[in-house]
Structure 1
Amino acid sequence: MPGPLNIFQVSGRAMSAQLVRMNTTASNLANASAVATTEDAAYRTMKPVFRTSFDRASGLATVDVAQVVTAGENPTKRYDPGNPMADGEGNVWDSAVDESRELVDMMEAARGYQNNVEVMSTAKTLITETLRLGR
């Protein structure tokens, strides 16, 4: 049976969750201008679903990514007969990625990641200073 969680484990899990968020956001941005021949083949925005767990032994809560799901608007049909991806009627399906929203998500994820780096750094400093007091 694992022992109680410590602050480094909590921050590490939060950093991992934010990294998944940054990766899905980067994928969404990379596919923002993608087109497809059918609605089913069109790119859909991906978002991580976070799950919070509470550790009774330590009194700390952690966050993990439970799954990555598609979210947001549906792809939109656009008439573009000159596009090589156009179907028989000259239509293509644009991905429905909101680039502004994705950039905001990327900034939030980066800030969340950085905040947890700071938590780890502060905890390390406090532990080091506490050990130094014992000398």
Structure 2
Amino acid sequence: MADFSDAMRVTASGMRAQAARLRHVSENIANVDTPGYHRKTVSFQSIVEAGQENGLVEAGRVQLDQTPLNEIYDPSHPMADGNGNYEGSNVNLLIEIADAREAQRSYEANLKLFDQVRQMSTSLMDILRR
């Protein structure tokens, strides 16, 4: 039974990590038109317990993408300089949508595995009761 609970912990940690990733992707999409906004990225790291890797993951620190901001020409914008340019965001909507799909699919894969482990443990308990 310990193996079942360990497997459920691993899949649950994967779902939490992907949910955090999806939150940051959503923030990036929401701020695609915000002047001066830097895209947020998150990486995953292994959780080590008692000096051993156990398959658990967590979202690491949030990093700001250092790609140069887009120069936008709009002389009527309040943030425009003397040449009529201002710095937009460095968010690429196509990349964010691809990241959102990847995070969603990874979350769903972890959810299916979680459900399969739960069903297997329930079936084992039914067999042991007989």
TM-score range, shorter chain: 0.7 to 0.9
Q: Which residue of 2 aligns with 1:96?
A: 90
Residue 82 of structure 1: aligned partner: 76
Compared CA separation, residues 47 and 14, structure 1 to 2 (3 A): same
Are the structure 2 counterparts of residues 118 and 86 from structure 1 closer, same or farther at C-alpha, using a change threshold of 3 Å? same
- Residue 8 of structure 1, CA deviation: 1.4
Q: How many residues align?
A: 127
- Matched residue, 1:39: none
Alpha-carbon separation, structure 2, partners of 1:87 and 1:55: 53
Q: Which protein is richer in helix relative to its size?
A: 2
TM-score normalized by the length of structure 1: 0.83
Shift of 1:72: 5.5
Partners of 1:127 and 1:91 in 2: CA distance: 61
The whole-number CA distance in structure 1 between the counterparts of 2:116 and 2:57 is 20
Unaligned runs of 5+ in 1: 36-41
Aligned pairs for 1:23-102 (under 5 A) are 23-35=23-35, 42-54=36-48, 60-71=54-65, 73-102=67-96
Cα separation, 2, equivalents of 1:58 and 1:77: 48
1:106 aligns with one of 96, 100, 107: 100
Query: Within 2, Cα distance between the matches of 1:59 and 1:85?
Result: 49
Alpha-carbon deviation of 1:77?
Answer: 2.0
Ranges in structure 2 where 5+ consecutive residues have no aligned partner: none
CA change 1:58–1:84 in 2 (3 A) is closer
| Aligned match of 1:123 | 117
Length-normalised TM-score, structure 2 = 0.86
Give the aligned CA root-mean-square deviation in angstroms. Answer: 2.4
